[in-house]
């Protein structure tokens, strides 16, 4: 067999894999979007019928708003993923201070952490700035999603600590560790898959879409970064992202 034939076979197999992944993603995304839509139209129908008691109107409106918010988050995540899917083409790279990015993500999550009774802290600013050339928005999404998960999958009284440093070999390293519920060993390989959740009802309860870590994985890939996860059920998790 000639070299070209082998390459063509591989190319065809790759195309098939990609097409299958796309189909699967579209099916999953449609399903995820349909669920909140059903809930919204169900409640709207009840309100329309005029049979809802006065005191329940507010409750139903609240449920409609919550489901609409879920849909918005889902659509935002899908857009973020599809932009990263193209390898960040058209997304401008700039010199980014990773510590500043972490500081603004932590700041944005202060209120959510307080509500969850979780203490979130960021290490002191490194003496020398941790700089890397990257896509600012994708880097922010990476830190934000990891910190948000560390808060969401935590327990009251738990802690989240975020560190940014330069390793001995000159890599920019971000670590997000928590004292939360942890991830079972058998799920560790799969949490970066789109829509994969260890506990679907818990994820929905805390406002998860199942796309957060896929966004993190894609953003890391776009920056040639490596992700490591260390986790123990009942003790917590630590995610490390190493940017070369």
Q: Which residues bind ligand ADP (CB under 6 A)?
A: 145, 149-150, 153, 178, 180-183, 191, 196-199, 203, 208-214, 237
Nearer to ligand ADP, 59 or 69 (CB): 69
Shortest reach from residue 87's CB to ligand ADP, in Å = 20
Question: In the complex with ligand ADP, which residue's Cβ is closer, 142 or 149?
Answer: 149
- Measured from the CB of residue 47, what is the shortest distance to ligand ADP in angstroms? 29
What are the helix (H) ranges across 86-135? 98-108, 110-115
Nearer to ligand ADP, 44 or 66 (CB): 66
- The pair of structure tokens assigned to 48 is 């329309």
Residue 97 pairs with which residues in a beta bridge? 131
Give the distance from CA 229 to its chain's centroid: 14
Residue 156 has a CB neighbour count (10 Å cut-off) of 7
Between 43 and 147, CB nearer to ligand ADP: 147
Judged by beta carbon, residue 43 or residue 153, the one nearer ligand ADP is 153
Residues 67 and 36: beta-carbon distance below 8 Å: yes
Minimum distance from residue 222 beta carbon to ligand ADP (Å): 17
CB of 88: closest distance to ligand ADP in angstroms? 19
List the Cα angle 84/74/133 in 5-degree steps.
Answer: 25
For the bound state, the minimum distance from the C-beta of residue 24 to ligand ADP, rounded and expressed in Å, comes to 16
CA dihedral for 215, 221, 224, 227, sign (positive or negative):
positive
Q: Which two tokens stand for residue 68?
A: 């609409």
112 with 151: CB under 8 angstroms?
yes
């Amino acid at each position: 067999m000639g070299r070209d034939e082998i390459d063509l076979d591989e190319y065809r197999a790759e195309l098939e894999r990609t097409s299958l992944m796309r189909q699967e993603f579209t099916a999953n995304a449609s399903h995820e979007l349909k669920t909140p839509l059903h809930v919204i139209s169900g409640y709207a129908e009840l309100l329309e019928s005029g049979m809802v008691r006065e005191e329940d109107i507010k409750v139903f409106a609240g449920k409609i708003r919550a489901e609409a918010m879920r849909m918005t988050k889902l659509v935002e995540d899908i857009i973020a993923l599809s932009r990263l899917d193209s390898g960040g083409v058209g997304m401008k790279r700039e010199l980014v201070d990773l510590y500043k990015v972490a500081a603004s993500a932590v700041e944005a999550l202060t209120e959510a952490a307080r509500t969850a009774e979780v203490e979130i802290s960021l290490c002191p600013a490194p003496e020398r700035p941790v700089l890397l050339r990257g896509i600012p928005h994708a880097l922010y999404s990476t830190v934000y999603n990891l910190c948000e998960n560390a808060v969401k999958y935590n327990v009251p009284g738990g802690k989240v600590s975020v560190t940014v440093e330069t390793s001995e070999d000159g890599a920019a390293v971000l670590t997000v560790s928590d004292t939360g519920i942890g991830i079972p060993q058998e799920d560790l390989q799969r949490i970066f898959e789109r829509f994969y959740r260890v506990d679907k009802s818990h994820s929905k309860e805390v406002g998860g879409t199942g796309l957060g870590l896929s966004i993190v994985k894609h953003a890391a890939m776009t920056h040639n970064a490596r992700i490591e996860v260390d986790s123990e059920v009942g003790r917590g998790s630590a995610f490390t992202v190493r940017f070369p």
